[in-house]
Structure 1
Amino acid sequence: DVREALGIDHVYQNGDTGRLLMVESIGGGGGWLDYDGDQRWDIYLGQGGDPVRSGMPDQPSDRLVRQLPDGRFEDVTAAAGIVETRYGQGVAVGDFDDDGFDDVYVTNVGRNTLWRNQGDGTFLDVTMAAGVGDERWSSSAAWGDLDGDGDLDLYVANYCDFDVHNPRDCSKDGKPHICHPLDVPPVPDECYMNQGDGTFTAEATTRGLRGEGGRALGVVIADLDNDGDSDVYVANDMTANFLFVNDGKGQFRESGILLGCAVDRNGAPQASMGVACGDYDGNGFLDLYCTHFQFDYNTLYQNLGPSGMRDITGLVGLVAPTMPLLAFGTVMHDFDRNGRQELFVVNGHVERTQVRGTTVFEMEPQLFAYDGKRFHDCSKMAGDYFREKRLGRAVASCDFDDDGDLDLLVVNQNAQVALLRNDSAGQHGIAFRFRGRTSNRRGVGTRVTSGVDGRRRMQEWCGGTSYAAPHQPDLIFGLGEITSNVRAMVRWPSGREQTLEGLAVDRRHVLEEPD
């Protein structure tokens, strides 16, 4: 953890009112962006405060920290014009107006906020003008081109109908407790379609993107059926997860149960929080990993293509090590660049609870390595941070030090954020960044298949994933001992394809969408 050495000082305050308000349990967010276009990665950090005083001037604001040329970070919140004192939950980054500068959408308990990057180092609150001010309790959000028109649309994951000023009494034996999700009415998600003129229209219902009874926490926008368009997967708390399949024209059909990724292997819904997306088994289809509540396992859905998905968690050794913990943010990536995916998970309970006479609250994070058949817990070998207990929530990945491997930002409740620098060594890799022309400027939804040494590895720049946190928009492939002769097949969101031969290893390639 190099947070302190690099000058980052931020604690997400959940309020900790002592009343155990439900909204205090699931925040906060944070993630990566290059807000000033200097090719160095900056961080937007969400904030909570007292939920009852959300939006008041005496409440702490979200923060923006800028990376300096020497790798340190400085607080530029005031200079950037950001004053966001609403009770924050998550962050989503996307260039919605296609001007080349990252914009920020913040989910809150109450009105969400869209910060438009003005390109001069400052942001402007355009929420109401854009028409994206959802007033409900929103947890996460994701950007993606859902109708194939070349600009980014916005999916907002909403949770429950909970009034902090008149909270539901969920006390037990005269003591306050966090409300169980099923005791609080759900609120539907929303999908805002980009009109290309700086405004959006709410079209969840007309697009077929309104599932029944969901309490959404995590969301992924990705091509999960390999048909060339973006689908939407929603991780719901205590109810079946949604998979909205795109028909290629921007209309969707909910097919989670049919395709095997809505419930666990026993047919039971789980308390889904975060979700990671990647092709762990190398079969060319994106798999999903969902994090869950304590005493229930995190679920790995293997994507079998036309046959749908299956809960393969037990077969790959991931049931037992995740049962004792309560998980939120998660990332699937090849952190050591050996050519296989790992799983990173942060954990932390929503309230103090007794387990066999021991108080359980803060929890250690976990790292699982894949050997080609099973995952193994390698947390003890991953660094001191994995031996410390915290209330982990959001996780966002980024190669912030530009050394070729992915580092991690972790947002904890009521404790300092962590910036986990990846010091893995001895392996090679290759990275890709995208510049869309017909497609959206950042290339969200672009898929790269890397061919080397007779093996194929596929990644897609997905919208959303993890929990309440956006990643750096690069794809990084681990190559192991391979040092040359890399081939890449690129499929842009527009459907345009290109093949690149003989790519140099251990460098980042900036790809332009062909005409």
Structure 2
Amino acid sequence: MVAPSFTLLLLQACSGAGQEPDVAANRSAPDDPEPLFVSLDPASSGITFKNAINENQQQNYYVYEYMYNGGGVAVGDINGDGLPDIYFTGNLVPDRLYLNKGDMQFEDITETAIPGGQDGWHSGVTMADVNNDGLLDIYVCRAGWYDEPEQRTNLLYLNNGDLTFKEVAQAWGVADTTRSTQAAFFDMDKDGDLDLFVINTPLQKKRQYSNIEIQQMVEKRVSPSDRLYRNDGDRFTDITAEAGIWNMGYGLGVAISDLDGNGWPDIYVSNDYIERDFMYLNQGDGTFRDEILERTRHISNFGMGCDVADYNNDALPDIVVVDMVSEDHVRSKKNMSGMSTDRFWKVVQAGYHLQYMFNTLQLNNGNGTFSDVGQLAGMSKTDWSWSPLLADLDNDGWKDLLVTNGYKRDMRDNDFMRATK
């Protein structure tokens, strides 16, 4: 069966001899495109927020390994004037809410709009109409190294309709006290209101990633599992365990989409460290099943963020997950994880999946499975990356890929790690 295949390839190659491939026809942008975006001066836009990180003996990378992961941003029309407003979360600085005044001018209305006294380490933020009143509300995730639960309690700001908000997380049952990264609102049961999924992480100390479950029991910590909350109209109910979501991951990204085409919204979570990503498929009866092992051949190693969109216009959702591999060969070797084949296969045999240190672009095959085409697509190496976004940025009908990247210090430099063990 090998010879016919080879002959066919040879004939195809010969038939194209002397013909230059039409490379331009397969591109979504010209060779020398005009700039799509311009940077606005803070003095002009009015947006002066800066997520400044101050380090000392009490707060640093060794106390909290996610020290440099950054905050969050949510964009939405909070007052119904047709203009998108912006909410920024600060890790060690106060959050800021900017009202869009038009003509790219923004006004900081935080002091009058958002209740004060909500300090702590703020991470992700999401805007959604929680109570179906036609107004966007704001959900803020909190994390950090704090032992006090009140410093880690997530916040829910209900929109009063007059450019003010009321904090109601406790009353609505979503005052999660684990260390939350991000949240996604979606109608999981198709009953007309938005349910809530929150991704969480354990507090890891001295790179202790194994035996997390035992540590939780011995130290009687709050479980760091991701959480699923069902919207019951005037409050939420935690249905994590009964829905089959209970886990022990290091979630850094979450995306919602109907991944298996059964008409129900599913959940994809990209996980850091050894934990595999989760692909929770909605069974349509209030439960979910993680089928990442069955649906993918391999995944990224350090899942630093994810997004879902149809990147090749075949009407099927595809998945992008970013990792931390540099295009520069020397830098990639200096910052790469261990290459022990014995450890690799032990991880695989333990059920953590085949994980490789590259960005992945999981192409939907249309039969319930996905194939990684990240290297073929030319996006597998973007250094220490975060929050990928698939969107048509130039209005040509094709999804482009925006990847934010960077880290304040090279904490994974192997010489540095060896010296600080």
Do they fold alike, i.e. is TM over 0.5?
A: yes
CA distance in 1, matches of 2:208, 2:313: 38
SS in 1 for 2:308: strand
CA distance in 2, matches of 1:260, 1:27: 29
Q: Where does 1:108-187 land on structure 2 (aligned, <5 Å)?
A: 108-109=142-143, 110-162=152-204, 168=205, 170=206, 179=207, 187=224
CA distance in 1, matches of 2:308, 2:132: 25
What's the offset of the Cα at 1:22?
1.7
Structure 1 stretches lacking a partner, 5+ long = 50-59, 163-167, 171-178, 359-515
After superposition, the Cα gap between the structure-2 partners of 1:329 and 1:17, relative to the gap in structure 1 and judged at 3 Å, is: farther
Q: Where does 1:85-484 land on structure 2 (aligned, <5 Å)?
A: 85-109=119-143, 110-162=152-204, 168=205, 170=206, 179=207, 187-197=224-234, 199-211=235-247, 213-238=248-273, 239-260=275-296, 263-264=298-299, 270-294=301-325, 295=332, 296-319=357-380, 321-322=381-382, 325-349=383-407, 351-353=409-411
**Paired position in structure 1 for 2:348:** none
CA distance in 2, matches of 1:143, 1:74: 27
Per-residue CA shift, 1:96-121, capped at 9, x if unaligned?
10101101111101111011111111
Moved more, 295-304 or 11-20: 11-20
Do the aligned partners of 1:224 and 1:230 also contact (CA within 8 Å) in 2? yes
What's the offset of the Cα at 1:353?
4.5
After superposition, the Cα gap between the structure-2 partners of 1:117 and 1:334, relative to the gap in structure 1 and judged at 3 Å, is: same
Q: How many residues align?
A: 325
CA distance in 2, matches of 1:3, 1:100: 33
AA partner of residue 153 (structure 2): R
AA partner of residue 34 (structure 1): D
CA distance in 1, matches of 2:201, 2:313: 34
Two-structure CA RMSD over aligned residues (Å): 2.3
Identity across matched positions, percent: 31
AA partner of residue 70 (structure 1): D
After superposition, the Cα gap between the structure-2 partners of 1:307 and 1:37, relative to the gap in structure 1 and judged at 3 Å, is: closer
| TM norm structure 2 | 0.73
CA distance in 2, matches of 1:182, 1:14: 29
After superposition, the Cα gap between the structure-2 partners of 1:30 and 1:250, relative to the gap in structure 1 and judged at 3 Å, is: same
AA partner of residue 305 (structure 2): G
**Paired position in structure 1 for 2:68:** 25
After superposition, the Cα gap between the structure-2 partners of 1:354 and 1:77, relative to the gap in structure 1 and judged at 3 Å, is: closer
CA distance in 2, matches of 1:187, 1:354: 24
What's the offset of the Cα at 1:350?
5.8
Name the structure with the higher helix share. 2
SS in 1 for 2:83: coil
AA partner of residue 188 (structure 1): S
Do the aligned partners of 2:260 and 2:368 also contact (CA within 8 Å) in 1? no
Per-residue CA shift, 1:325-370, capped at 9, x if unaligned?
1001111111111121211101112633586999xxxxxxxxxxxx
After superposition, the Cα gap between the structure-2 partners of 1:15 and 1:250, relative to the gap in structure 1 and judged at 3 Å, is: farther
Do the aligned partners of 2:202 and 2:224 also contact (CA within 8 Å) in 1? yes
SS in 1 for 2:82: coil
SS in 2 for 1:149: coil
Do the aligned partners of 1:160 and 1:181 also contact (CA within 8 Å) in 2? no
Do the aligned partners of 2:69 and 2:407 also contact (CA within 8 Å) in 1? no
**Paired position in structure 1 for 2:9:** none
Per-residue CA shift, 1:213-256, capped at 9, x if unaligned?
32111111111122211111111112211111111222211111
Do the aligned partners of 1:153 and 1:194 also contact (CA within 8 Å) in 2? yes
CA distance in 1, matches of 2:412, 2:130: 46
CA distance in 2, matches of 1:301, 1:317: 13
Q: Indicate the structure whose relative CO is greater, using CA pairs within 8 Å and at least 6 residues apart.
A: 1
Name the structure with the higher strand share. 1
Do the aligned partners of 1:191 and 1:203 also contact (CA within 8 Å) in 2? yes
Structure 2 stretches lacking a partner, 5+ long = 1-38, 144-151, 214-222, 326-331, 333-356, 417-421
CA distance in 2, matches of 1:304, 1:354: 35
Per-residue CA shift, 1:51-76, capped at 9, x if unaligned?
xxxxxxxxx32110101033300100
After superposition, the Cα gap between the structure-2 partners of 1:29 and 1:354, relative to the gap in structure 1 and judged at 3 Å, is: closer
**Paired position in structure 2 for 1:9:** 48
CA distance in 1, matches of 2:41, 2:241: 43
Larger Rg: 2
After superposition, the Cα gap between the structure-2 partners of 1:226 and 1:307, relative to the gap in structure 1 and judged at 3 Å, is: closer
| TM norm structure 1 | 0.60
